[in-house]
Structure 1
Amino acid sequence: MNAKNEALQAWMNESNVDVSIATSKYNVFYLSGYYSEPHERLLAYVSFKNQQPILLCPAMEVHDAKNAAPHAEVIGYLDTDDSMELLSNEIKKRSSQFAVVALEKEHLHVLRFESLLKAFPETKWVSLEDKLQMLRMVKDEEEIKKIQKACELADFAVEVGVKTLREGITEMEVIAEIEYEVKKKGVREMSFSTMVLAGPNAASPHGTPGAAKVKKGDLVLFDLGVIFEGYCSDITRTVAFGDISEEQAKIYETVKNAEMKAIEACRIGKTCADIDNIARNYIKDAGYSAYFPHRLGHGLGLSVHEFPSLTGHNQVPLEKGMCFTIEPGIYVPNVAGVRIEDDIVVTANEPLVLTKYPKELQIII
């Protein structure tokens, strides 16, 4: 049996949940081991309290699904079938108890939910996301190894980007070089759209790369991630292309020091809010609080953004095995945009930093 499904079943028995239906590709993969990009088609992993789970997928994927999820009964459907009707019928075949069903309320769209309402008119529907967020928040050793490998590849990608910089090269040309080199390493996809932002563009936290050319005196921000066997990395580094001003250098050192202080505090028992406040207060004391407009970090795993969220209001305590980013930034329009981001695992002792690319200010001549 699958350990992650067993953990879900234990919760179902404790919480009197009769059936759980996961429909997002990330949660289906987490529970089953099978990854699919179903597009508009239905993909569903159904858990019961004390029975074999079922994995419902398009018929053309049945062979792959059986190989990836031998613990589950794989059921395929044709494009001419009503996949939601099939799902409801398969649940009814296996259980007469469906008073309480957990599903992904944030993922299942209205049309499909209406089909379930019609099939199970007396059922109480509860959120499955909350439990899966908590399960996914703490990684096992195998998951951490995969994230670590993804981080090694992300370090390599930043190295490629920095070495590619030259006067007149565009942001998109740098991205093309990065992604070409990582794909040569066997990487199929990035965690998200790679960002390379030069000069004034770096002061936009989630700016859009384009035809802007790198020039002397620019700060150049790299934000990227790599997926390895389903698990994501996420790294940000900022470098100087040529000499920069004293204020730009001050901003860089402020961000770096804030990040390092926050990382050092990532210990069991501290809360997400504690960590956010350490970095935020350091930046505030340096006079840049108005220019740090986002949370300190986010969970990392199958999705590049998952639980927990490191905000000043999140009182969730850190536990061994949690994996998340620490990424303070200062963005002063027409002056500087600096962000430094690392991927962290909470251990029994000091935090483990998975991303290794150097953080000392690099001035590219």
Structure 2
Amino acid sequence: MFDDHLLRDLTPQVLGVLVRRGADFAAAEHPVQDALVEAVRRWDGDAPDDPKGWLVTVAWRRFLDARRSASARALREVAVRRERSPGPAGQADDTLLLLSRCCHPSLTPASAVALTLRAVGGLTTAQIARAFLVPESTMAQRISRAKRTLAGERFERPGDVRAVLRVLYLMFDQGFAGERRPGDADLAAEAIRLGRQLVASVPGDPEAAGLLALMLLHHARREARTDAAGELVPLALQDRSRWDTAMIAEGVAVLQGALVRDRLGEYQIQAAIAALHDDAACAAETDWPQILEWYDELAAISPDHPVVALNRAVAVGHVDGPLAGLRLVEALDPTLPRRDAVAAYLHERAGNTAEAARRYTAASKTAASAAELRHLLRQAARLNRAR
């Protein structure tokens, strides 16, 4: 039986092989798509013994055919040179190579995410545009500009894994926090899928494993983040029976495997914090002292990161009291996103309901989504009614 999931997994690997062989990124896409169409037509029953090799062979021939009239001699030299190297799969990890190319530092984060979704994730331009809430024409232009930026770049080997991790985290955050409509691409799930491939490509990198664990531990709570009406539910009020315990167990196992390498990084620390939240049977049982210890570790690694400082203030508010947390919040940049929301939360814990309501209202003016806006306004209205 034809397996479209197999084709989806193989697509970025095949594209990566062509790029590694010297094909320009944009020029390689079309022959790969042609090979996929040919596979759908020919693989009526089971796939061949080496489906990746089959796809690479067809795509490479199509690429050579398309370029032969312009540079036949040069392409023949490339083909001969590559034919003397190991088979189509080779020893290099082509998915990582392609991820590295899509996450090139010359691209903006938004362009890197879009290009990764298109080339590695296999999503259509229309799907990506819906995920970013922009017109399809706008997204098409963004992806085209990204390809032009990379034109002529040669990637003989995978690049900076840290850049890939940043893009995958941004992709996950966009999908996890964003609002999805039926039929929209699931960016969070796609980031996890690519994260698994990345960990397989660099099994000795604890931060790659840390990011995968972090995404799994957050994603496990996704179904409980909204109620039946689609409204946001704060972590403390979530129905924990709706959390995916199998995914939590997987995330913890991946994290433990990373931590034993004793090369601590920010993604591992964030995953450890998420694991402590997931481990609590109810909000009251959350191990805030240990969470604060992890935030201290994170602050030591990222001393100038305002979001870390803001989240640490919440932990301090639970361990040393809300007024101690508020003193830290008030020392931060007033324009910092979520600063007013955190201040409102701590003011409410301190019993300052009037100030909490005012801060919730102020926070609503910079809400990142319609769901967050409604949630903050509901909190302000709730406190105003109680006064």
TM-score by length of 1: 0.27
TM-score (ref. length: structure 2): 0.26
Q: Which has the higher contact order (CA 8 A, sep 6+)?
A: 1
Q: Rg bigger for which structure?
A: 2
